Amino acid sequence: MLQPRYCSVTSGRTKALPFHPSRPLAHGCLPTACSVYRKMSKSQQPIHGQVAASAQGVATEPQIASSVVTQEARRAVFEPAKEQYPEAEALVISGRLPSWLSGSLLLNGCGDYRGGMRHLFDGFACLTRVRLDGGRGSATASQRFLESDAYRSFRRTGRLKYREFATPVPAEGPVGRAMAVAGNLVTLMSGGRAFTDNASVSLTPLPGGRLLALSEARSATFLVDPVSLATLQHVSYSDVRHAGTTSPSPSSSWSPPAAPAGAKDTVPGDLTTAHPKVAPDGQTLVNFARTLPYGGYHVYLQDPVTLARREIAFIRDRDPLSPCWVHDMALSRRHLVIVEPPLFMSLPSLVLGRPRPFVFMDWRPAAGTRVHVVALDGSGVVTHTAPPLFTFHFANAFERPATAPPPGSSNTGGGGSASEICVDFSVYDDPEILNDLSLERLQDFPGKDISPSRLRRLLIPLTDAAGRPVGPSSLAAPVPLLRDEDAYGNFIEFPAFNPRFRGLPYRYVYGTAAVRPTNMGNALARHDLAGGSSKLWHEPGGMPAEPIFVPRPGGTAEEDGVVLSVVTRPDGCSMLLVLDGGSWREVARVALPVGVPYRFHGAWVAEEGGDG
């Protein structure tokens, strides 16, 4: 039977060891045979394809049992991971891998929360690789910490060197705190590294067999080997140069404007996002950097080979001393959309280490939301206003003929040349989810119910019926996309879709969901935007990670592919779940030989020369 990594096995029985976050625990799930799933009672077995609508399309109440993530599963995702786990066999214990599915699932997240860390976003970066060979029906897995200065320093000293998201550098008494503050100010004024380089959030595949590991500080940028997971290079933009040439992708007529050959990267800013978007050419990255105080958003295009950045727009902060926190953004074929909630960073809190109501931030709903629409060709920015909301992550965005007149237009109906951007994303009423993700709340059992978030669409006018650009306007609140939001527990995070439909009209969104009561995402959902219905996959007591859609090579249907998600089982063991993108039924389960800690984001990299 699969034994949790923190368990000892005596006389065929499993005995849970006490959880001590201050020290590492034993690792290594033992995939010798999997009788756990077969021995489950019917009520314990996962829900496959739970549909939130009847065959006639009439919404019905889904029959979903309540579930709380087990204490064993919580221990498993928050205990310190082994520093390096070499590649080892992973067993396919249920179903079969599709023959075309060959490549690597590469994941980033936090693997060690020691050092007094307080929040889910604080832990040191740890990378996971699950390699699948569909032709042979085999799999392997490996894991390794990112070699950041923050992590190396912690290994040597047992103390934090930099402030992490919610955890300031520890200081002894008022004198120690004053010295820490003075050190921060000196570093900022001298241009040194004032922010952590702990790149624990995302992985972006690059040409030449490289990965870009990122977090929200510019200093947290590394190149990683996708096979060995070795940290190759810390990216310092001071020595990056432009190649001077660009070429359009065969699948797109769009190409980024070229900078002069040899020109230096001069984009300023110490903060960024860990969610670069892929431009219509399928290669160029789109992101922004932040300068503060008295700064704003420096939107740029980035060469995926040289990593040189070229600024295409600047958006000034509305409060020069208190910039807003933006985690992600949306990209259509021609525009980048930055949704700026009224969540304002407190710079004194960042420097002094004093907490605010939402970590180091303040919620000012009366200020409303700003929505910046940036033309990728560098021709300008239009800033709209919208009702207050909070968000982490976006699904897709696309442009279409407008179905209604833009706000303020004299036209009384849609049609003509009127156009709009549709932006689909996970929407919260407020940022309380940030507090829900404190380690104290996440480890509380059974804990406070997680804050609701809902799948919504924001409609942004581009042109009116005469084809004229629409200027700044007041947008309506985002509209619901699903008929029965209780069907997915009023919770969606890590929204994903078929990447072949990036920037295009589409139908299906995949994401984590909630079977309540629960204080963390504990299910996976497939949402049909055309039918307004949802299907769930849920294993009581377990916790799935971000779903990643892998399209079948040669497939034309949007749902033709599989969804991959690493799941922490109720017993604390880790497995890779493979779901059919259309039927939402299990295709396979792969028992992993290493316990996988909490994962944020990742990517699928197809085997070179393979099909999938």
Annotated binding site for Fe cation: 275, 327, 393, 601
What's 260's DSSP letter?
Answer: P
Smallest Cα–Cα separation from 515: which of 41, 42, 52, 36?
A: 52
CB 446 within 8 A of CB 68: yes
* Alpha carbons within 13 A on the beta-carbon side of 336: 30
* Three-class DSSP category at 553: coil
Q: Which two tokens stand for residue 16?
A: 């849970």
Q: Which two tokens stand for residue 176?
A: 């120690």
DSSP 302-324: E-TTT--EEEEEEEE-SSTTSPB
Smallest Cα–Cα separation from 124: which of 116, 132, 133?
A: 116
- Amino acid, res. 105: L
Count other C-beta atoms under 10 Å from residue 461's C-beta.
24
C-alpha span between 185 and 187 (Å, rounded): 5
First to last CA, the chain: 31
Count other C-beta atoms under 10 Å from residue 452's C-beta.
17
Q: Which two tokens stand for residue 564?
A: 């991959």
What's 508's DSSP letter?
Answer: E
* Three-class DSSP category at 153: helix
* Three-class DSSP category at 408: coil
Residues marked as binding? 275, 327, 393, 601
Place of tokens 């907490």: 355
- Amino acid, res. 63: Q
Q: Is the peptide bond before 205 cis (omega within 30 degrees of 0)?
A: no
Strand partners, 544: 567
Q: Which two tokens stand for residue 457?
A: 């669409």
C-alpha span between 463 and 440 (Å, rounded): 48
CB 195 within 8 A of CB 162: yes
